[in-house]
Amino acid sequence: MRIIPAIDIIDGKCVRLSKGDYDTKIIYNENPLEVAKSFEAHGIEYLHLVDLDGAKSSKIVNYKILEQIANQTSLKIDFGGGLKSDEDLRIAFESGANQITGGSIAVKNRAIFEKWISEYGSDKIILGADAKDEKIAVSGWLEDSDEDLIPFIQDYQTKGIQYVICTDIAKDGMLEGPSFDLYGKILAEAKGVKLIASGGISTFDELPKLAELGCEGTIIGKAIYEGRITLKQLENYIIGKM
């Protein structure tokens, strides 16, 4: 299972929110590049970079930080937050993203998201399926939708989607453990999906359980920043010591 630490950006700084609420913002580091380099130094190969300013303003904002991290580390970056147009996507890939994640756009403008899948390929485009009570939430989780989570994923599988990041919003940033039952259900019903679990990871012991379920990757945010999971533990996990 791939270990994918998260860096969320507001005003150029590395922050975390709880349940997607901007009022709960905690700044963990003024320098996202420094954070990314510390991940790389511990053998981590992947990074989930979220432009929270972009998510709020519906266009890419923090692409310079993406460019900086892409140029000064060898991390494979998936980038999301506010990607709404072909131009946003072009900027993201030109700035060094290996993959992009589309969430709101996949609900609100299916035609453009499906075009991206066919143009860039399913290895480059990740479906962001963020859920609240098994319904898809959009716009940085500020809006609910009528889309049911699993049929939404299954429908996009027919369009070629392979990678899906699923965040249970109720768990995000709460350090109360991930939604094992929800992920098990998705993996059972959306056969063949490469599921990346996100939200609620709080202890190292949860990682082998997610791997056992069949998750392809897991995104870890606050647990790292709060010292619940150490980079050394992740390093040992990656090299197979644990």
Task: Give residue-wise pLDDT tens across range 154-208.
Answer: 999 999 999 999 988 877 767 789 999 999 999 999 999 999 999 889 999 999 9
Least confident of 106-110, 144-148, 191-195: 144-148
| Catalytic annotation present for 8 | yes
pLDDT surpassing 80 at residue 225? yes
Q: Which of 53, 130, 168, 172 is catalytic?
A: 130
Instruction: Determine contact, residues 66/91, Cβ cutoff 8 Å.
Output: no
Of 73, 134, 67, 130, the C-alpha closest to 103 is 130
Catalytic residue list contains 130: yes
- pLDDT for 141 equals 54
Helices (H) and strands (E) in the chain, counts: 11, 12
The pLDDT of 139-150, averaged and rounded, is 74
d(CA 219, CA 112): 26
pLDDT value of residue 169? 82
In which region does residue 85 sit, left (phi positive, over 0), alpha (psi from -120 to 50) or beta (all else)?
beta
Cα separation of 242 and 236, whole Å?
6
Burial of 135 (0-12, 13-18, 19+ CB in 10 A): middle
CA distance linking residue 80 with residue 52, whole number of Å = 9
46: which strand partners?
A: 76
Q: Does residue 142 carry a pLDDT above 60? A: no
Pick the catalytic residue: 8, 51, 78, 168? 8
Q: Can you tell me the mean pLDDT for 44-60?
A: 95
The CATH topology of domain 2-238 is: TIM Barrel (3.20.20)
Nearest to 197 by CA among 82, 105, 187: 187
Share of the chain above pLDDT 90, in %: 81
Confidence of residue 143 (pLDDT cuts 50, 70, 90): low
Mean pLDDT of the chain: 93
Q: Where are the domains of the chain?
A: 2-238
pTM: 0.94
For residue 70, the surrounding DSSP H or E stretch is helix 63-72
